[in-house]
Amino acid sequence: MDRPHYKFWPQRLPHSITVPATSLWHNLAVNAARYPDKAALVFFGSEISYAEFESQAERLAGTLHALGVKRGDRVILDMQNCPQLVIAHFAILRANAVVVPVNPMNRAEELKHYITDPDARFAITTGDLAPELAKASNALDPKDRLAHMIVTQFTDAFDPAIEGDEAPAAAWREWLLTRHPLPTLQDGAVMSWTDALGAGHAPPEHVVGANDMALLPYTSGTTGLPKGCIHNHSSLMHNACAGQLWGLGSADMVVLAVVPMFHITGVVSMMHTAVLVGGTLVIMPRWDRDVAGRLISRRKVTSWTNIPTMVIDLMASPNFASYDLGSLVYIGGGGAAMPQAVAQRLLEQFGLKYQEGYGLTETAAPSHANPFENPKQQCLGIPYMSTDARVIDPDTLVEVPVGESGEIIMRGPGVFEGYWKRPDATAAAFIDFEGQRFFRSGDMGRMDEDGYFFITDRLKRMINASGFKVWPAEVELLMFRHPAIQEACVISMKDDYRGESVKAVVVLRQTHKDTTAQEIMDWCRENMAVYKIPRAVQFVDALPKSGSGKVMWRLLQEAEGKG
């Protein structure tokens, strides 16, 4: 049956698409032949052509193969945005292996799980992060440790003497220009990036295809440690092809790559979509509003996927009037709602309609997007190409009427295969609906009469800090390792800039009653990614509990909301 949103579907596009049956590596190989001299990766003024991109990925794949990487092996990729991240990502795919993208903000205590859970024996990282990854590996049982680590320095990819519009921000220079010594990996070997590229090993025959696993990104949830999401080449290929069509992509697109490329949005909507069409990625390792403004102006950026706080920050820059945003054709993103006043200013000042979208790690980024021609503000959009989405009562699993709130469910070729080693969690994540297998998003939303979806609430216990998902259960597990903490409950608190921030309600052990909130926060900074760190700590004598002994976190959350 026709869905209501088809009335607003872009006339230029089919409702569903046929995608290549090849691996994602094939996209790079094809465009290296088509556009050998075209800039593929730009980093602080240095350009890597498509031919050189392919060559470096082939050479690195050869070294991985020589080190023992076999078909289906999981390889950790732990980096901030830089050309080496993109090259290494494609090298892992070229070696018939699986990319395990890791948030570079994770600390050793968190990184242990990303080594042991995917049974990873190989890792590629940058010099600034290598010690933390080595620390995590060295603390593990010998049988679980990394066997090989390849380490690159940022200056392997750009000229440190660069000045002018494309130079790094002053605050970044020491971080980017420092060449770090290689760490010691117990029971393993560490190799530099330049040695890995220069080793001269031939890559193996490329034998993986659409139905082989390509990516194992991790997502947390209401309980326990993060879970790996199994994505085959086919799911990423579908959403990259859809992204090209939906976002007016072509070989002439120039993408500002500032959304982290360990995150599913950065991987699919930026990296793979750009490589699919032969576009150019202008790479930023971190967010800086004035670096972004200068790069958009100088490089004539046409496409900018972001989180709304970046746009707000850029427009608040005292230098904003000097930046030329006239080249932008597409601007959009998700993770948080774009304030209507900011979206209106973009439209009035630049003729740009901010394209909000929605998706999860499990759906290879977008499951919903606003059509380019008919976007609605503060709206998730309509179900993406080849995607069917509904709103159901989470208890009865029956579809609710238009306008009523319920749980968003979806099915389509972008949806993942299931959770790595977690058949129980996989079974719980899917339902049979109208004879089809639908994924339960855990998000509460509604659909209007036009078929556009809107978020109303969350079934999942989750905090959204500037687009980063923080799972309280994961933060609590880490906090329980602090010797002073007897119990902890993590809730969200309002934050004018980030939307939400993390707050911890803590019961101290009798032996550590003199512990301060600052000491707790400092410890968290040492042991967890910065976006997970509680911005406030409240001490209490006891946490509210149900008759079965479960912490009643909702009571604390409601009290915080009223506060």
- Taking only Cα atoms into account, the Rg of the chain, rounded to an integer number of angstroms, comes to 23
Query: Domain residues of the chain, as ranges?
Result: 463-562
Neighbours of 58 (CB within 10 A): 23
Give the integer Cα–Cα distance in Å for 434 and 436.
6
Look up residue 61 and give its amino acid. Answer: A
**Topology of 463-562 in CATH?**
GMP Synthetase; Chain A, domain 3 (3.30.300)
Q: What is the largest CA-CA distance in the chain?
A: 68
Q: Give yes or no for a contact between 384 and 407, defined as CB atoms under 8 angstroms apart.
A: no
Q: Select from 251, 250, 269, 249 the least CA-distant residue to 259.
A: 269
DSSP secondary structure code for residue 182 in this structure: P
- What is the reported pTM? 0.90
Could you tell me the CA-to-CA distances from 60 to 55, 57, 76, 89, 236 in Å, in that order? 9, 5, 14, 10, 22
Phi then psi dihedrals of residue 485, to 5 deg = -95, 120
Q: What is the pLDDT along the chain (563 residues), one digit of tens a residue?
A: 578 999 999 999 999 999 999 999 999 999 999 999 999 999 999 999 999 999 999 999 999 999 999 999 999 999 999 999 999 999 999 999 999 999 999 999 999 999 999 999 999 999 999 999 999 999 999 999 999 999 999 999 999 999 998 999 999 999 999 999 999 999 999 999 999 999 999 999 999 999 999 999 999 766 678 999 999 999 999 999 999 999 889 999 999 999 999 999 999 999 999 999 999 999 999 999 999 999 999 999 999 999 888 898 899 899 999 999 999 999 999 877 787 888 888 999 999 999 999 999 999 999 999 998 889 988 999 999 999 999 999 999 999 999 999 999 999 999 999 999 999 999 999 999 999 999 999 889 999 999 999 988 766 778 888 778 888 888 988 898 899 998 899 999 998 878 889 999 999 988 999 999 999 999 999 999 999 999 999 999 999 977 766 788 888 988 887 64
Distance, CA of 114 to chain centre: 15
Could you tell me the CA-to-CA distances from 457 to 260, 364, 377, 463, 472 in Å, in that order? 26, 22, 17, 12, 16
